[in-house]
Amino acid sequence: MFWYIFVAIVATASAQTDETYRAIAYLRSETITGNVTFTETEDGVRVQGWIHGLDAGNYGFHVHELGDIGDCLATGAHYNPDDVTHGARDNEVRHVGDLGNVRFEGEGVEAVAIFDYVDSVIALRGRNSILGRSLVLHEREDDLGLTSHEDSLTTGNAGARVACGVIGILAPNGPWNSAARFVLTKSSLILILSNVLANRN
């Protein structure tokens, strides 16, 4: 009987959670325009972006801890719930928010950064969730914790913040809390009750 109840609950819950979870951030300043989407996949979060407005080169790119974009300084430090040192995106030891650099390519004002990768550390739900925090683009290259500069192991010495945007919900527009998504429907209730009755001695 419990097996049937379990199956009915799982079937009901999963029927409502098959939509892909996605978030979006827009980067805006006087000169910079960009958008970055974050999509849950089996291997992590897929990060896809397009940013325009800086010369060709590498620029530090991080998730900062707060969604306060009163100005980009108000976004606080890199999101770092494990309180570890700064590193590259593919380092074992890194801030959750360490997304390394974005690379702009092209001539002069035509330069754009276009990227598409999966990061296995950031998440859209749970402890490493970046939702409601912010995405920050810096004026310089992030040294990925590899130089002797005093800021290398905290900020990558990436300098000032040239654009920032809040990471917000793109989809689904319903509740994101799976516990709150479980609704006892009439059909699952009938299934449960019929199994209770069938197993009664």
Ligand X SMILES: *[C@@H]1O[C@H](CO)[C@@H](O)[C@H](O)[C@H]1NC(C)=O
| Residues 7-66 within binding reach of ligand X (CB under 6 A) | 35, 50
| Residues 83-112 within binding reach of Cu ion (CB under 5 A) | none
Task: Report which of 58, 76, 59, 57 is spatially closest to residue 67, judged by C-alpha positions.
Answer: 76
Size of the site for ligand X (CB under 6 A): 2
Q: Look up 52 and say whether it is catalytic.
A: no
63 burial type by CB count under 10 A (0-12 exposed, 13-18 middle, 19+ buried): buried
Residue 195 partner contact from Cu ion, ligand X, none using kind-dependent CB cut-offs of 5 to 8 Å: none
The alpha carbon of 183 is separated from its chain's Cα centroid by a whole number of angstroms, namely 27
Sign of the Cα torsion 15, 177, 4, 199 reads negative
182 scored as a contact of ligand X (CB under 6 A): no
Residue 95 partner contact from Cu ion, ligand X, none using kind-dependent CB cut-offs of 5 to 8 Å: none
Query: Which of these is catalytic: 89, 94, 133, 138?
Result: 138
Pick from 36, 136, 144, 162: which binds Cu ion (CB under 5 A)? 136
The answer for residues whose C-beta is within 8 angstroms of residue 187's C-beta and 6 or more apart is: none
Active site residues: 62, 64, 78, 86, 95, 98, 138, 161
